[in-house]
C-alpha cells in the first residue's frame, strides 16, 4: 500500500491497490458517450465486471456570482423525476476551449453573461460509475447585462434563483440542493473564497 501526503497537510493518505482492467467491453454508445461493462480483476484476485460511463467530451459547471449572491437554475431532471436546483452545467462542444464552453452553458441556461469565467479545478460527479471529469468555473456576472436563455430542446429549466451566501446553510440543511455536482462546485468555490460577501462579485475577478 502506498502512502501519500496532501500538499497542505502532514496527514498521510493510504492509497488502496487498484482494480485492474483486463478487457474493455463497450455495451452501449450514443452521441453523448459510451457505457462500458469491463472485465476486471480486484486486488484480491477475484475476477468480475465493472460498469463505467465515459462522456465523449469534458464537462463544465459554472458558479455564477452576482450582486445578490449565487445564481442557481431549477432544472427538471428526468432520472430522478423531480426538479433540482443546480448551477449551470453541460459539456464541451467540438473543439471548444473549456472557458468558452462554460460561458456558453451559463448564457444558454440563464441568459447571464461572463466572457472570462475563472477555472477553479475539477470534480468527479460519481466516482463509482462516471469516468469523466467536470471542470469547475466561477463567473462574476452583471445582472444588468443579460440575454434570453436558450436551453437545449431536451432541457426543462426555469428562471435562475439567487441565493445570498448567508442563506446557503439553511438551504443545505433543508435539503433544497441535492445535486452532487452543484454541492461539490459550491464546496470548491467556498474553499477559494471563504468570505465572499453578497454584492461584491468583483472579489472573484481579482
pTM of the predicted protein model? 0.88
Query: How far is the C-alpha of 74 from the C-alpha of 51, rounded, in Å?
Result: 30
Query: How far is the C-alpha of 50 from the C-alpha of 40, rounded, in Å?
Result: 7
Instruction: Record the cell numbers describing residue 124, joined without a space.
Output: 468527479
Residues 48 and 69 grouped into a single domain: no
Residues 94 and 69 grouped into a single domain: yes
Residues 41 and 113 grouped into a single domain: no
**Contacting residues for 84 by C-beta, under 8 A, at least 6 apart:** 74, 75, 76, 77, 178, 179
At residue 2, the pLDDT reads 52
Query: What's the domain count of the chain?
Result: 2
Residues 91 and 45 grouped into a single domain: no
Phi, psi of 128 (to 5 degrees): -80, -20
19-24 long-range contacts, CB within 8 A, separation 24+: 19/43, 19/50, 21/50, 22/47
Phi, psi of 147 (to 5 degrees): -125, 175
Q: Is 203 helix (H, G, I), strand (E, B) or coil?
A: helix
Could you list the beta-strand ranges (E) of 81-150.
Answer: 82-86, 89-91, 118-123, 134-140
Residues 9 and 88 grouped into a single domain: no
Residues 142 and 79 grouped into a single domain: yes
Query: How far is the C-alpha of 183 from the C-alpha of 4, rounded, in Å?
Result: 26
Residues 24 and 116 grouped into a single domain: no
Sorting pLDDT into bands at 50, 70 and 90, what band is 1? very low
Residues 44 and 113 grouped into a single domain: no
Q: What mean pLDDT comes out for the span 28-52?
A: 97
Residues 19 and 46 grouped into a single domain: yes
Residues 39 and 138 grouped into a single domain: no
List, for residues 94-123, the tens digit of each pLDDT value: 999 999 999 999 999 999 999 889 999 999
Query: How far is the C-alpha of 120 from the C-alpha of 148, rounded, in Å?
Result: 27
Residues 50 and 112 grouped into a single domain: no
> What is the CATH classification number for the domain harbouring 199?
3.90.79.10
Sorting pLDDT into bands at 50, 70 and 90, what band is 149? confident
**Contacting residues for 44 by C-beta, under 8 A, at least 6 apart:** none
Query: How far is the C-alpha of 29 from the C-alpha of 127, rounded, in Å?
Result: 20
Summary count for the chain: helices (H), strands (E): 4, 13
Residues 69 and 161 grouped into a single domain: yes
User: Where does a domain end: 38, 55, 72?
Assistant: 55
Domain residues for 124?
59-205
Amino acid at each position: 500500500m502506498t502512502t501519500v501526503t496532501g500538499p497542505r497537510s502532514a496527514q498521510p493518505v493510504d492509497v488502496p491497490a487498484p482494480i485492474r482492467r483486463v478487457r474493455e467491453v463497450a455495451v452501449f454508445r450514443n452521441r453523448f458517450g459510451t457505457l462500458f461493462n469491463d472485465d476486471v480483476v480486484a486486488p484480491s484476485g477475484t475476477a468480475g465486471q465493472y460498469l463505467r460511463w465515459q462522456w465523449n467530451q469534458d464537462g463544465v459547471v459554472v458558479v455564477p456570482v452576482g450582486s445578490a449572491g449565487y445564481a442557481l437554475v431549477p432544472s427538471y431532471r428526468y432520472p430522478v423525476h423531480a426538479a433540482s436546483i443546480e448551477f449551470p452545467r453541460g459539456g464541451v462542444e467540438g473543439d471548444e476551449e473549456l472557458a468558452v464552453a462554460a460561458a456558453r452553458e451559463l448564457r444558454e441556461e440563464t441568459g447571464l453573461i461572463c466572457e472570462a469565467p475563472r477555472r477553479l479545478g475539477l470534480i468527479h460527479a460519481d466516482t463509482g460509475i462516471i469516468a469523466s471529469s467536470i471542470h469547475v468555473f466561477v463567473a462574476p456576472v452583471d445582472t444588468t447585462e443579460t440575454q434570453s436563455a436558450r436551453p437545449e430542446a431536451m432541457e426543462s429549466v426555469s428562471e435562475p434563483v439567487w441565493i445570498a451566501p448567508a442563506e446557503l446553510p439553511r438551504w443545505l440543511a433543508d435539503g433544497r440542493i441535492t445535486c452532487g455536482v452543484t454541492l461539490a462546485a459550491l464546496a470548491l468555490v467556498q474553499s477559494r473564497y471563504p468570505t465572499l460577501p453578497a454584492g461584491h462579485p468583483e472579489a472573484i475577478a481579482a
